[in-house]
A and B are shown apart, each in its own frame.
Chain A
């Protein structure tokens, strides 16, 4: 045994080694029958840390026929994965061979496999949690089984092939034996004993075989009894509720149906099983009870890097060409390396900076409390030009077709030529402008501290005006024919973009300076009552709300299927956007008033605690 291990370790790649001048090996994350799986950094993205999983296959088979088959299987996995596109399936980036070594480069999944989650959990996993994963697994099986032209049978569903990522969602890994199913063909027996259905041992692989293995996986997850240690097909002798009394009889019935010996007695499809699980979830209330008590996200999140400025950061960063630009109340604009947080340069102004920088044509544009719009070179921080307004600038510049729009405390909206820094026009309003203008439909939309909301055309002429009861500090967004903006009067407004009529109003518990975000038909916004709200854009009905411990002035940001938002309570929250379920939170040392930005799976944001943070999304 020892010599075997030695041999394996000798064959493992050492950290720091770079494959094909591109993938620098960092660590071993798994050992399989044919080789190891590594975490590596993709050097193709020098400015950010892009992690990938590199799956190695060492082909030492002496028989050339077998060697060839192994390589073919490997390439089959690569080609199969390349055609798939699903959130619960890792994306494939690359594959290559080198002597007897073949490598597959895949999306790196931050998280743990389900087998580890089961082992690491004291006691039983909550039924609600297992149901939610089961529903997701049905979704991905349904996707695979519905693959055209031929269904894909995963054939190796088991806890160790199910990753639970750091958002608490499942990702299926190890497609080594997933096989495109051709009707009538009998495959060879591949699969993992204990989880595989009887017919798979006879060489048959069908979609309902995956249903059985999913049932076996759920059985293991809910009972903690490893089926590999039990006689084959003996699940009926270990009913869920005899081992774990907390399980509902409804869920037990679903697992039993999936585990039927005879394939025709099982759910006919993954979607049928999902429907059954959904109705269990509705009955037991699992959908609403699924909470943040995830075994994977409780461990505390370590930032990828952090950088300390000399005063509070209240604003929002911008990322461009591998640099993070962020303003600070130490009066400087900072440029940091997005990959490691290394200081690149800073540019001093004569006032605090809350304005979010914009980058255009290698120049960074931002406003400062020193009343100026500053334009500096993105590479070296050298000033290009500055533009004076009559008041402090809290609004962020919006650049559209070579022109900059920015509001000022001088009550004017300024349109400035992006090249020369000369004013094109100014539009005078009835109050200071903190709101960041929106450019859409060939119009410029913004709010003022006197509660007005303006729509101007590009000549700076008023098209319409809407009056809220308190200041409109929030920055508008648009979708379709509507503009969405909040006010300190405690209302989120949907306004007709063309004429300013209020289509609906949604009452928030308190005022809001947060700017809304939209995904699908849902709109998200924070408010001073500490809630993050999700509202249906069509009906203005609340979909969910999430309570933070203090005011939310940060604006939610949608990325993939999550929203990210800071709170004055000092946490950055990551919520599932459809349900408002907490995925994780990260605690800074002081309030987070600005908004995060997310790029290539990394979240960047600043805090009143003087730090800029970068975290894995």
Chain B
């Protein structure tokens, strides 16, 4: 801070040009690259750049895809620094229900449409007035609307939804069901940031199941909350910082239920690019039998 006041006496300098980042070398990062990124991050008012990639597969044992995915990466215009904007949604239509893919598709369309509409003037125009709702309110309204739509248009069906709105360096999550969002850190730590709304998770939390019993629980797919199911939707909505120098990952249980966290980390660190990382994970899940549809979104904040 003292530095700043010293600088006041000098002539105003040109703002530092953001360092160009070669997309092809974003992942895996060597220690040196990581350090240099960390170094850049410690300089204030850096320009952050959001990048993301998607992987999807129907799997080896299903004949149609009930997962739906939306990944939209952009920048908020009209601000000198360019605020990263990202909207990432994974929805996994409930099997055994009528039209699982109809529900997951509708959830994505309604939520995605609603949120992008709110941000339309920031993304494609010059905003004339500030957004009335807070980010958490935008998520709440959008997921509720999707819930009502699915109830109306595809009664009886249901879907998981894990949606992440990235704005600047924070992530606002709306979540229902057992798709998951993870924070993945540069040191290889992986933290789930959502809580499954599933019967098995609930029984585990209540202490009724041991670790072994959890692994072998016969009704692992039973959800206790889902979009489209029940009169009121109680979604988890919260905000957390984007993992510094790490990744945000959203995936369906066709990925997290099939390969281990260790495998996930290996897929990411061994891949030269985000695209490859996503493909690696999808291939790993298929190699492990591919029992379910697989969807994954991987996002990274560079700079």
Contacts and interface: CB of A to CB of B under 8 A. Distances in A.
Nearest to B79: A499
A499 B76 CA distance: 11
A403 B5 contact: yes
Contact of B170 (A402, A457, A481): A481
A508 to B, nearest CB: 14
A504 B172 CA distance: 10
A400 interface: yes
Interface stretch (B127-135, B224-232, B279-287): B127-135
B239 A503 contact: yes
A111 B179 CA distance: 51
B185 interface: no
Contacts of B170: 481-482, 496, 503
Contact of A501 (B2, B8, B168): B168
Interface string B30-64: 00000000000000100000000000000000000
Interface in A441-469: 441-442, 457-459, 464, 466-467
A257 interface: no
B5 A458 contact: yes
B204 interface: no
Interface string A498-512: 110111110000000
Contacts of B137: 504-505
B172 A503 contact: yes
A481 B136 contact: no
Interface in B213-245: 236-241
B136 A458 contact: no
Contacts of A502: 131, 133-135
A39 to B, nearest CB: 45
Nearest to B139: A504
Interface residues of B, number: 28
Contacts of A467: 130
B225 to A, nearest CB: 16
A55 B271 CA distance: 66
Given A501-B167, A502-B135, A480 B241 contact: yes
Instruction: Kindly state the interface size class of chain A when it binds its partner.
Output: 20 to 34
A424 interface: yes
A344 to B, nearest CB: 33
Contact of A538 (B83, B167, B169, B240): B240
B167 A496 contact: yes
B15 to A, nearest CB: 12
B124 interface: no
A494 B239 contact: yes
Contacts of A402: 2, 5
B213 to A, nearest CB: 19
B237 A458 contact: no
A504 B239 contact: yes
B1 A458 contact: yes
Contact of A539 (B8, B76, B236): B236
Contacts of B5: 401-403, 424, 458
Nearest to B172: A503
A401 B1 contact: yes
A400 B236 contact: no
B25 to A, nearest CB: 26
B120 to A, nearest CB: 15
Contacts of B131: 501-502
A499 B83 CA distance: 8
A504 B2 CA distance: 33
B4 A442 contact: yes
Contacts of B135: 501-504
Contacts of B1: 400-401, 442, 458
A496 B168 CA distance: 8
Given A501-B135, A502-B135, A538-B240, A459 B4 contact: yes
Interface string B144-171: 0000000000000000000000011110
Interface string A474-516: 0000001110000000000110101101111100000000000
A320 interface: no
B259 to A, nearest CB: 29
A540 interface: yes
Contacts of B169: 481, 496, 498
Interface of B: 1-2, 4-5, 8, 44, 76, 79, 81, 83, 130-131, 133-137, 167-170, 172, 236-241
26 contacts: A401-B5, A441-B44, A442-B1, A458-B4, A458-B5, A458-B8, A464-B79, A467-B130, A481-B169, A481-B241, A482-B239, A494-B239, A496-B167, A498-B169, A499-B76, A499-B167, A501-B83, A501-B168, A504-B134, A504-B136, A504-B239, A505-B133, A538-B240, A539-B136, A539-B238, A540-B134
